[in-house]
Amino acid sequence: MPREALWSAIAATLRAEIAEGAYAPGARLPTEAELSARFGVNRHTLRRALSDLANAGLVVSRRGSGVFVATRPTDYQLGRRVRFHQNVTASGRTPSRRISRLETRPARPEEAEVLDLQEGAAVHVIEGVSLADGLPLAAFQSVFPADRFPGLLAAMEGQSSVTAALTACGLTDYTRKETRLKAKLADPVLALALQVQPGTPVLRSVAVNVDAAGSAIEYGTTWFAGDRVTLMVSPDQP
Amino acid sequence: MPREALWSAIAATLRAEIAEGAYAPGARLPTEAELSARFGVNRHTLRRALSDLANAGLVVSRRGSGVFVATRPTDYQLGRRVRFHQNVTASGRTPSRRISRLETRPARPEEAEVLDLQEGAAVHVIEGVSLADGLPLAAFQSVFPADRFPGLLAAMEGQSSVTAALTACGLTDYTRKETRLKAKLADPVLALALQVQPGTPVLRSVAVNVDAAGSAIEYGTTWFAGDRVTLMVSPDQP
DNA sequence: CCGTATGATTTGTCTAGTTGTATAGTATAT
DNA sequence: ATATACTATACAACTAGACAAATCATACGG
């Protein structure tokens, strides 16, 4: 009977340390060179162990960067009134946003239709990435009618909460009217923004938000990193 | 009367050559392929001879690396204030240390309890192997409260004496408060670190060191290679 | 201040050599 | 006949070294 293979024992050790919290989710493991020195094995043997962990979905390795502890998939509640920050804090993490684009441009036909605008009317576009504990969870693009919120982009300067900016523009409340979901593959640009491998699955959510009066005020698209987020669709509350 | 087996004769030849110093302790023997060619036998037959030597503790083989000539055991004094270097030099050997891991991570419940910390408080972890004349005698893991010794890991960089690093952090003296001993079997990872066969007996020592004021400052575990070390427990001196 | 270039670091892949293990077959002594 | 010793072959596990590809940090020039 063959005794336990070295790589297997090493994998078990690392597994236990990850489980004990020695390496937090999202954290980088020591380099392969350091780990192989620590265990006193050749780098190939260590890589065999890492490949076992990666196969089990416990770690993700990125060439040139390192090996990272995989984040357990987050449940992301998709409801009429749930915002990003609540979602992330509810799972015990620290939410943050990185805004990458603020601009005003003519509405595209589809956007104009949804937002009930004339084709070519000006819209504000906000693009960015939402993160939990510094790890990208989703990339988003939101389109707002410019004439309804003239100072929106200015209100976004220096802070990152879209909800707060909308409030500053006089919108007290808004709810999600409809959401369409689709599974896609991340193209290189999206993969970069989400820090995943190109070709990994992504959940694209297209949502329309309406104000209290029921008129559309936001046309938002969100791309969730499929391996980090599980979307929970809850029944609508009236 | 059965004439002596081939493998037995080969083993005797190698035994004699090792005894004559043709292969120094720690040196690598020729590869199995070379030796089997030299004696004109199949590799299996030669391996039967080698296995005889290994069983007698004369050689140690490492897969992928080669077969090495082994060395003799040491007495290791276990006292309140005895350090590793003194122990090894006392037995006429050259001590050395190989540090394999320097990290800071959250304390595990047991460690927090012993070191009187809050659960999850940061601790420094130092792992390595202690050697005599280049041969591993013991593998150790030491855990220190990070807030008590903020610069400990930095002090360990570029040198290997834990005592010196502690001194650099302002700790002038410490003594062993308690030691628990247990016999265990080496798992593959530990076996590799100690350069013994997996499954060979190992002495695990769990010790708590305290400073002059009596507060715990180190939670250390040491695994001694059972066939290379004899532990001597001396009565405590007040 | 920003983009670029460059060098160092880190993971991915390949080739080759060494010991460990398993299976099957052959010769020989009892 | 039947163990026992040895041969033959094949594959698995691990080591060793080299190079490629991606990334990151830093310095430099506009």
Interval B120-167: pLDDT, tens: 899 999 999 988 877 788 899 999 999 999 888 888 877 778 888 898
Q: Say yes or no: A155 and A204 in one domain.
A: yes
Structure confidence by residue, pLDDT tens digits, B158-204? 777 888 889 888 888 888 887 887 778 888 889 888 877 777 788 88
Segment A89-95 mean pLDDT:
62
Q: Searching chain B, which residue's CA lies closest to the CA of residue A37?
A: B100
When scoring A39, A44, A46, A69 by the number of chain B Cβ atoms within 10 A, the one with the most, hence best to mutate, is A39
B238, part of any domain? no
Highest mean pLDDT pick, A92-106, A162-176, A207-221: A207-221
* Tokens found for residue B56: 């007698």
Residue B236 has pLDDT above 60, yes or no: no
Residue B20 has pLDDT above 80, yes or no: yes
pLDDT recorded at residue B117: 93
Q: Say yes or no: B44 and B146 in one domain.
A: no
Q: Say yes or no: A47 and A126 in one domain.
A: no
- Per-residue burial over B114-150, b if 16 or more Cβ lie within 10 Å, else e, is bbebeeeeebbbbbbbbbbbebbbbbbbbbbbbebbe
- Domain range spanning residue A201? 74-233
Q: Say yes or no: B219 and B116 in one domain.
A: yes
Segment A23-45 mean pLDDT:
90
pLDDT recorded at residue A236: 47
Identify whether the C-beta of residue B6 lies closer than 8 Å to the C-beta of residue B47.
no
A59, part of any domain? yes
A30 contacts B189? CB cut-off 8 A: no
pLDDT recorded at residue A30: 93
The one-character DSSP state at B212 is T
Single-letter amino acid, residue B189: V
Single-letter amino acid, residue A237: Q
Q: Say yes or no: A128 and A206 in one domain.
A: yes
Domain boundary among A48, A69, A90: A69
Query: End-to-end alpha-carbon separation of chain B, Å?
Result: 65
Domain boundary among B35, B69, B103: B69
Which residues on A lie below 8 Å from B103 (Cβ)? Answer: 22, 30
Q: Say yes or no: A98 and A166 in one domain.
A: yes
Q: Say yes or no: A57 and A135 in one domain.
A: no
B153, part of any domain? yes
Highest mean pLDDT pick, A20-24, A172-176, A193-197, A218-222: A218-222
Q: Say yes or no: B37 and B117 in one domain.
A: no
Q: Say yes or no: B78 and B50 in one domain.
A: no
Q: What is the DSSP string of B79-137?
A: -SS--HHHHHHHTT--EEEEEEEEEEEEPPHHHHHHHT--TT-EEEEEEEEEEETTEEE
Q: Say yes or no: A114 and A16 in one domain.
A: no
Identify whether the C-beta of residue B194 lies closer than 8 Å to the C-beta of residue B129.
yes
Helices B43-55, B32-39: crossing angle, 10 deg rounding: 110
| CA–CA gap between residue A106 and residue B165 (Å, rounded) | 65
B125, part of any domain? yes
Which residues on A lie below 8 Å from B193 (Cβ)? Answer: 39-40
Closest CA to B124 of B157, B146, B156, B95: B146
B185, part of any domain? yes
* Beta pairing partners, B74: B229
Q: Say yes or no: B120 and B47 in one domain.
A: no
Mean pLDDT of chain A: 81
Identify whether the C-beta of residue B115 lies closer than 8 Å to the C-beta of residue B219.
yes
A39 contacts B192? CB cut-off 8 A: yes
Q: How confident is the model at residue A25 (pLDDT cuts 50, 70, 90)?
A: confident
CATH number at B55 reads 1.10.10.10
pLDDT recorded at residue B237: 44
CATH number at A86 reads 3.40.1410.10
Identify whether the C-beta of residue A138 lies closer than 8 Å to the C-beta of residue A130.
yes
Q: Say yes or no: B23 and B98 in one domain.
A: no
The full length of chain A comes to 238
A185, part of any domain? yes
Which residues on A lie below 8 Å from B140 (Cβ)? Answer: none
Domain boundary among A69, A100, A118: A69
- Per-residue burial over A27-42, b if 16 or more Cβ lie within 10 Å, else e, is bebbebeebbbbbbbe
Structure confidence by residue, pLDDT tens digits, B63-82? 888 898 876 666 676 666 66
Identify whether the C-beta of residue A210 lies closer than 8 Å to the C-beta of residue A202.
no
Give the count of domains, chain B. Answer: 2
Helix/strand/coil percent split, chain B, to 5: 30, 35, 35
Strands B229-233 and B74-78: parallel
| CA–CA gap between residue B122 and residue B115 (Å, rounded) | 11
B198 contacts A3? CB cut-off 8 A: yes
Closest CA to B93 of B204, B220, B229, B201: B229
Residue B238 has pLDDT above 50, yes or no: no
B22 touching A (Cβ < 8 Å):
no
| CA–CA gap between residue A123 and residue A218 (Å, rounded) | 10
B16, part of any domain? yes
Within B 12-31, residues with CB less than 7 Å from strand C: 29, 31
pLDDT recorded at residue B81: 64
Residue A145 has pLDDT above 70, yes or no: yes
Identify whether the C-beta of residue B136 lies closer than 8 Å to the C-beta of residue B129.
yes
Q: How confident is the model at residue A194 (pLDDT cuts 50, 70, 90)?
A: confident
Lowest mean per-residue pLDDT among A69-73, B1-5, B41-45: B1-5
Q: Searching chain A, which residue's CA lies closest to the CA of residue B125?
A: A22
| CA–CA gap between residue B87 and residue B96 (Å, rounded) | 12
- With a pLDDT cut of 70, the percent of chain B lying above it is 88
A238, part of any domain? no
